[in-house]
Structure 1
């Protein structure tokens, strides 16, 4: 082959490689980094053609999130009826990952509300946390054929009332054996979540250690955001 032909072939090969690199950058395929972190240059967005989407997080991915819920109605027998602002975080662990969606384990969930904000050193702090349970079904992110997504969370709950002056827990109630709160986000536009609105689907009865009903979580409308900081 002549030197001119060889030079032309080399230019064609370089042009092809540049095109491949540009296409890969445009797709933004995520991957696992060292230490189990997940790199996702492009989030999974509802309504995007399946062939052009970045993949959902793979199995084994931890997804920490912050969350906030205002004006939460809570009835506790010893504290009467309260309306509180809860804030905190949660963390999901991806158990299965398919085109149809994700099975999610809730590794942690903790939100707190100050029942007496006018007295920083006295009064009561309320903490809602996930109760350890092997009977609770996995939470789920579903993807339908049209590309829409919804998420359903199953969270067995423990509510602790904490004395702010002593940091002692003065009351503990739970959703009870085999029971859990069901939260739903009907319109998930991207995942991991950004400004994702989710809500409690029905009131959750809370029970004391003697099995008697001690309160009700009557509602919970929250907003969730992916966070770089793992949930506590």
Structure 2
């Protein structure tokens, strides 16, 4: 399938997120200021660039430290008046937003990027996000890809952990502090999105090659970005990306 061009607003951002920005560009680049909700985006990697484009962004995150970083970053970028940080959890989003701006009609766009891996219940969190959107509003969902995690562990020389991930087991049970992050298949992610009452668009890969490149490789970032955009929607490459992304709408 054809891949959208990279948005000019994101040309200087990391190549690994190029596919997400390209998917968002038709929404955020239409010239109309949007009300954006960023769930779990505490440090502002997406919120601040969106605010620089003229959008108003509310960031809900459980980490006070991350929200402090967000405030500093927004102030430095000169967009502190368009970025609001609120401490709270995604699965209690309705309560947080009702206390913040009751009966406000809903958000135009929500971001849920690499949050579903760590929340108590991904289905509840997505339903809460869907409920915060206006009719016709959209949500950008990105999540860790199980196949990409398997490949990354194998390439890094950890075949036992790779096999555990392939079998959907915790790869770090022998460590002092095992990790419990979820990884998703495309089918599982789409099922979650649709189960929240959202209409999902095509899914794409996030960081098909960028996370596999050694920092010392000297690869041209523009060339890596172009490659990411070319592979994000193409099989079999998207199936082994680090992450999965889908843009969905509230009917």
| TM-score, normalised with respect to structure 2 | 0.23
Q: Which has the larger radius of gyration?
A: 1
Please identify which structure carries the higher strand content. 1
Using CA pairs below 8 Å that are at least 6 residues apart, which structure has the higher relative contact order?
2
Identify, as 1 or 2, the structure richer in helix.
2
